[in-house]
């Protein structure tokens, strides 16, 4: 009897430990609060992770939404190569410029079948139309069925698209894909000229006459393949493939010096390479064992970077050039700054928001509000009424000027 009693106690302890471990695993995924807000319809659910907002369509599972947030945190882990000033600026830009990531279920075809119309006719295909989250977005992350072998690739690729194509473009002039002399453009062309990067699948965009869309796609996709190889994920992602030929950082270093410089001087200083085992723990693959594909080493050599080309104002280069090209806007801001401070104290308890829009002709308009949404919408209303073609950007929160260009 005593032996049976001891066995029962032992089994209870095992069950208790198992439950504790299970609850700990679940708690990791429940750290992110999911908000529901019809204002952003059809993107009615969202989480905020380190200043980046993840909007999802209704059909996306809450579990997957949180898992994408966990994957993003892997990219922001600490390591000795991080330049914390550059990372802090990246995080500030993500927040101040309302950068966001969209998440949907399966694919555009899922929604075409559900609504019996083409995806580009649905509001799901467009950017958010209410509030400050508008144009600083690129593509989707799609939720596949559990165990799908492509899920990790889907998540990491499109997280990197948002980071490099949107945030880095604002932060660093070297990542301005619209400038043919920028480092991202030159590095992409280097890979194309050397037969490393095959862009034949994207030629049809150029054939449609969309040069801007073509430049955006080829630089965005190049950045993804470059970073994936530098992170040691070449074997897991089956590189070389029909689009990209280099498998690891050693091949990148030897063959694509501009691409390697782009990685070492920017990506490595802001992002941390995710461990493959961590990714597999978040997105398990049916029938896949961790030993099936080992993650390769990353480059630990010291790299002498020239001075980074940082857009120190945190605003896009075009906006800065517009402001500098015409003194009208600068003068107007100085005139209504005192008005804003008075209203901010009286109406907004010193916690208001001030937005400005700089037009192509140098004119500007502004808007104020108790919340970010209110300030953005007020600015949008006035700029539209006065035919000013430019995007409303956050200028100040409370009495703190966030647009450094005008803080003097």
pLDDT along the chain (408 residues), means of 10: 42 39 39 90 95 96 97 96 96 95 96 94 88 91 96 98 97 94 95 97 94 96 98 96 97 96 97 96 85 77 77 44 44 70 85 82 81 86 79 84 54
pTM of the model: 0.72
Dist CA 177 CA 164 (whole Å): 10
pLDDT at 267: 98
pLDDT at 35: 95
pLDDT at 3: 42
Sign of CA dihedral 355, 378, 383, 341: negative
Q: Looking at 259-391, which runs of residues are DSSP E strands?
A: 353-358, 364-369
Helix, strand, coil percentages (3-state) for the chain, rounded to 5, are 50, 10, 35
DSSP 408: -
pLDDT at 325: 35
Dist CA 283 CA 174 (whole Å): 33
């Amino acid at each position: 009897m005593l032996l049976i009693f001891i066995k029962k106690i032992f089994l209870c302890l095992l069950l208790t430990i198992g439950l504790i471990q299970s609850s700990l695993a679940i708690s990791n995924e429940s750290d992110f609060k999911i908000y529901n807000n019809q204002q952003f319809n059809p993107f009615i659910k969202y989480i905020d992770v380190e200043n980046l907002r993840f909007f999802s369509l209704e059909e996306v599972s809450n579990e997957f939404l949180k898992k994408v947030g966990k994957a993003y945190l892997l990219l922001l882990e600490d390591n000795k190569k991080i330049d914390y000033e550059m990372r802090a600026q990246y995080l500030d830009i993500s927040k101040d410029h309302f950068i966001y990531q969209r998440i949907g279920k399966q694919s555009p075809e899922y929604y075409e079948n559900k609504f019996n119309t083409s995806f580009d006719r649905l509001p799901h295909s467009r950017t958010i139309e209410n509030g400050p989250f508008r144009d600083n977005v690129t593509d989707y992350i799609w939720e596949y069925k559990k165990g799908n072998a492509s899920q990790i690739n889907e998540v990491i690729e499109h997280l990197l698209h948002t980071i490099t194509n949107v945030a880095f473009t604002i932060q660093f002039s070297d990542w301005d894909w619209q400038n043919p002399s920028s480092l991202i453009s030159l590095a992409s062309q280097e890979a194309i000229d050397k037969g490393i990067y095959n862009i034949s699948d994207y030629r049809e965009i150029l054939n449609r006459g969309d040069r801007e869309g073509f430049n955006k796609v080829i630089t965005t996709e190049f950045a993804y393949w470059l970073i994936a190889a530098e992170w040691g994920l070449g074997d897991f992602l089956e590189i070389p493939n029909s689009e990209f030929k280099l498998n690891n950082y050693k091949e990148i270093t030897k063959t694509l010096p501009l691409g390697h410089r782009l990685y070492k001087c920017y990506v490595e200083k802001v992002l941390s390479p995710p461990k493959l085992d961590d990714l597999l723990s978040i997105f398990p693959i049916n029938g896949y064992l961790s030993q099936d594909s080992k993650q390769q080493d990353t480059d630990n050599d010291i790299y002498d970077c020239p001075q980074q080309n940082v857009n120190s104002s945190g605003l896009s280069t075009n906006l800065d050039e517009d402001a500098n090209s015409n003194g009208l806007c600068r003068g107007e801001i100085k005139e209504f700054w005192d008005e804003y401070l008075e209203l901010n104290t009286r109406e907004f308890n010193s916690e208001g928001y001030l937005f400005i829009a700089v037009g192509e002709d140098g004119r500007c308009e502004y808007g104020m509000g108790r919340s970010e949404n209110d300030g953005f919408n007020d600015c949008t209303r006035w700029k539209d009424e006065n035919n000013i073609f430019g995007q409303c950007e956050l200028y100040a929160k409370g009495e703190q000027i966030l647009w450094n260009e005008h803080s003097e």
